[in-house]
Amino acid sequence: MTDSTAARAVALRALHRPGDPLVLPNAWDAGSARAVVDAGFPAVATGSAAVAESLGYADGERIPPGEMFAAVTRIARAVAVPVTADLERGYGLRPAELVSRLLDSGAVGLNLEDSDPRTGAVVDVEEQADLLAGVRAAADDAGVAVVVNARVDVFLRPGGEAADRLTEAIRRARRYLAAGADCVYPILLADLTQLRDFVQAVAAPVNVLARPVAPERSELAALGVARISYGSGLYAATRAHTTRLLAAVAAGDPLA
């Protein structure tokens, strides 16, 4: 890998500051990535659901990995800032190939979730830890400090006691960090008290999903959150706005 690739990875890692969160409005193509940078954001994150849907596929690893990496490549080529890619659970690729294809795309960070895309069930914690450890080892072998964001999907599953789910999320997050993850992402965790407990318990960079029920950005910063991402939210809003514009066109109205 080139020195510039390694430097982008170092720059991305430095942006993860607890209490001063990196805000990532997830992009899905080169145009949206450029818009993110033009708006002043210092890094670009892709959203797997948004990328897949924009290319005609459903989320859940339905997109061929070649198409996903091609999309990430176009995004990384379009911007000068670090790019981190949402790669679901890795598309069944071995860690060395996953990291190689990530770096070939120009991205220097990745999300990996701990749900099985075929069943939606949360995978065994040690199985996921092995995947993350393999990715970290492959990145080290490549000489690039790839930023690994480990998603914890406990809160995606309905039911169960809130306290039990929080305990399990903390257990998984700690294990993933020990395996080599740099940041942990308890997706859908939005309760202020539980978020405070989670951040304090893991004592490492934490990613929170921005959504209407989540705490305000200032509150997340006060908790010590290091990263805030928007998932497919920007893409969904863009799609909704396009639908409204198309309805206006169909009705014969001029576009404002």
DSSP assignment string, 108-153: -EEEE-SB-TTT-PBPPHHHHHHHHHHHHHHHHHHT---EEEEEE-
The Cα angle at residue 40 between residues 36 and 41, in degrees rounded to 5: 60
Smallest Cα–Cα separation from 86: which of 47, 128, 28? 47
pLDDT of residue 1: 59
Please, which residues have CB within 8 angstroms of residue 187's CB and are 6 or more apart in sequence?
113, 151, 152, 153, 155, 156, 209, 231
The two structure tokens encoding residue 101:
């294809």
* Cα distance between residue 106 and residue 90, in whole Å: 17
* Cα distance between residue 148 and residue 153, in whole Å: 16
The dihedral through the CA atoms of 55, 57, 63, 64 has a sign that is negative
Smallest Cα–Cα separation from 32: which of 241, 246, 249, 207? 241
pLDDT of residue 2: 67
pLDDT of residue 3: 73
CA distances from 207 to 25, 72, 143, 166, 223 (A): 13, 21, 25, 15, 12
pLDDT of residue 255: 76
pLDDT of residue 256: 61
pLDDT of residue 163: 87
Sheet of strand 207-209, all strands in order from the earlier edge strand to the far edge: 22-24, 227-229, 207-209
| Predicted confidence pLDDT, tens digits, the chain (256 residues) | 567 999 999 999 999 999 999 999 999 999 999 999 999 999 999 999 999 999 999 999 999 999 999 999 999 999 999 999 999 999 999 999 999 999 999 999 999 999 999 898 999 999 999 999 999 999 999 999 999 999 999 999 877 788 899 999 999 999 999 999 999 999 999 999 999 999 999 999 999 999 999 999 999 999 999 999 999 999 999 999 999 999 999 999 887 6
* Cα distance between residue 5 and residue 16, in whole Å: 18
Q: What is the DSSP letter of 252?
A: T
* Cα distance between residue 63 and residue 195, in whole Å: 32
Helix, strand, coil percent content, the chain, rounded in steps of 5: 50, 15, 35
* Cα distance between residue 64 and residue 99, in whole Å: 17
